[in-house]
Amino acid sequence: MKVPLLDLKPQYNFLKEELDAAVIRVAESQYFILGPEVEKLEKSLCEYLECKYAFGVSSGTDALLVALMAIDIKPGDEVIVPDYSFFATAGVVSRLNAKPVFADVDPVTFNIDPMDFEKKITTKTKAVIPVHLYGQSCDMDSIMQIASKHKIKVIEDAAQAIGVQYKDGRCVGTIGDIGCFSFFPSKNLGCFGDGGLVTTNDKELAYKLKILRVHGGEAKYYHKIIGGNFRLDALQAVVINVKLPHLDSWSEARRRNAQLYSKFFIEAGLSEEEGKIIFDDKNKVLLPKAVYKSSGVKNYHIYNQYIIRVENRNELKEFLTQNNIGNEIYYPLPFHLQECFEYLGYRKGDFPVSEDLANTTLALPVYSDLTEEQIEYVVQTINKFIRK
Ligand SMILES: Cc1ncc(COP(=O)(O)O)c(C=O)c1O
């Protein structure tokens, strides 16, 4: 049996007529950049996320960059980011000649550890970027409380977490000062290329975000501030407009798949409970845990990635690949050990949880069209590897 890490073809076939028609409509209209389709998308996403303002931008990376520009991050400012995330979270800070300061992450949620975040605050700290990694909310109560105590802005990186609800029902990306989303094809709501979104409930920040994405001006060729080309194009917007009504059912299917994995792993005797963080037996598989599951909100986790932990991760990766099972290591090297951040002076051992995750995590297929048989096959294959 073949189990790809991600197969978007069934999703495309399901929506083919609508998607093809929408793409042709853009070609017929010859309206390619921003315009009515992007505005329609922004309105729908304000309603879906329950926030006041949303602006389509060119990617999740640019969403983060434009957010930092909107809060006036300057050279020498410090911005705290989790040590374990996709590169963009830290890269955008350096691109503004500010200093990324790393904080360790929580071993259960893989999200920024609020206590370590607070420890890293100095007089130069201007912002924190909590990342709702793999589709689960950070501990936003603690983060917002610490940020407000120290007068620090909160830029939420919700690139992997569109629709995720915090335990109080609010969507992530609408809790801090600015929320950043990605429509990269592998995200739960993916377009046909690159795309992103910024959200805010603050009128002044909204105005800045809106003009920053078009070179910092309202009227053409008159520039109030220095911005860039961070525009979303109409082709991407129509694709998202077609897909958005289905997002929650796709995320629900991913939750079902995650539950099936847990059930099969536990039945096979490979795992005990979700969220265990210690390897007391090297043949065990540690399962991810949805910490806000008991809160009663529907989208307590959207499983953009389903991440297990195993001690002999690299060998398992090879075995799964040989057996036609797609898998990926997110992320093999934490920020503080990346060559480009050597100048920051961190050393191996500085962030024990993040280093441990980089050495033991493996993403398994979890996309919405996966079948129960495929999930069972993945677990059986892992069982074969462990017991051989
Ligand atoms: C956590 C996180 N932040 C930012 C990004 C950047 O998004 P994009 O690829 O749309 O630029 C991604 C995308 O993979 C991500 O996973």
Tens of each residue's pLDDT in the chain, 388 residues: 999 999 999 999 999 999 999 999 999 999 999 899 999 999 999 999 999 999 999 999 999 999 999 999 999 999 999 999 999 999 999 999 999 999 999 999 999 999 999 999 999 999 999 999 999 999 999 999 999 999 999 999 999 999 999 999 999 999 999 999 999 999 999 999 999 999 999 999 999 999 999 999 999 899 999 999 999 999 999 999 999 999 999 999 999 999 999 999 999 999 999 999 998 888 899 999 999 999 999 999 999 999 999 999 999 999 999 999 999 999 999 999 999 999 999 999 999 999 999 999 999 999 999 999 999 999 999 999 998 8
Kindly tell me the sign of the dihedral angle through the C-alpha atoms of 41, 242, 251, 48: positive
CA distance 37 to 70: 24
Whether ligand 1 lies within 6 angstroms of the CB of 182 is answered as yes
Contact between 160 and 186 under an 8 Å Cβ cutoff? The reply is: no
Atom of ligand 1 nearest to the CA of 132: 1
> What is the C-alpha separation between 63 and 42, in angstroms, rounded?
14
DSSP-assigned states of every residue in 184-232: -TTSSS--SS--EEEEES-HHHHHHHHHHTBTT-SSTT--SS---B-BP
Give the separation between CA 185 and CA 102, rounded to whole angstroms: 28
Q: Which 3 state secondary structure label does DSSP give 53?
A: strand
Q: Which atom of ligand 1 approaches the CA of 160 most closely? A: 16
Please choose, from the candidates 78, 90, 143, 120, the residue with its C-alpha nearest in 3D space to the C-alpha of residue 334: 90
Residue 174: CB within 6 Å of ligand 1? Answer: no
Task: Find the 372 Cα to ligand 1 centroid distance in Å.
Answer: 29
CA of 179 relative to ligand 1 center, distance in Å: 13
Q: Please name the residues in contact with 148: beta carbons below 8 A apart, sequence gap of 6 or more.
A: none
Q: How close is the Cα of 260 to the center of ligand 1, in Å?
A: 27
Answer whether 61 contacts ligand 1 (Cβ < 6 A).
yes
Distance 203 CA to ligand 1 centre (A): 25
Q: Using the atom order of ligand 1, give the atom closest to the CA of residue 131.
A: 1
Which is the closest atom of ligand 1 to the Cα of 61?
A: 11
CA terminus-to-terminus distance, the chain: 20
Asked if residue 262 has its Cβ within 6 Å of ligand 1, the reply is no
| pLDDT at residue 281 in the model | 84
Answer whether 59 contacts ligand 1 (Cβ < 6 A): yes
Structure confidence at residue 388 (pLDDT): 81
- What is the Å distance from ligand 1's center to 103 Cα? 19
Inter-residue contact 313 to 330 (CB < 8 Å): no
Distance in angstroms (rounded) separating the CA atoms of residues 162 and 238: 17
Residue 160 near residue 64, CB atoms below 8 Å: no
**Neighbour tally for 210: CB within 10 Å:** 18
Say how many residues make up the chain. Answer: 388
CB of 236 closer than 6 angstroms to any ligand 1 atom: no
Closest CA to 161 of 184, 193, 192, 141: 184
The residue nearest atom 12 of ligand 1, judged by CA position, is 159
Ligand 1 pocket mutation, candidates 64, 184, 233, criterion most atoms within 8 A of CB: 184
Rounded to whole angstroms, how far apart are CA atoms 135 and 305? 7
Taking the C-alpha atoms of residue 156 and residue 142, their distance in angstroms, rounded to an integer, is 14
How many angstroms separate the CA atoms of 368 and 384, rounded?
25
Residue 19: strand, helix, or coil: helix
Q: What are phi and psi of 196, to 5 degrees?
A: -160, 180
Q: Is 82 near ligand 1, meaning CB less than 6 Å away?
A: no
Amino acid present at 1: M
Q: Compute, in degrees rounded to 10, the torsion defined by CA atoms 14, 51, 211, 190.
A: -20
Looking at the CA of residue 184, tell me the nearest atom of ligand 1: 10
301: left (phi over 0), alpha (psi -120 to 50) or beta: beta
Give the whole-angstrom CA distance, residue 336 versus residue 151. 26
Q: Are 153 and 71 in contact (CB under 8 A)?
A: yes
Q: How many helices (H) and strands (E) does the chain have?
A: 12, 9
Distance CA 101, CA 216 (A): 28
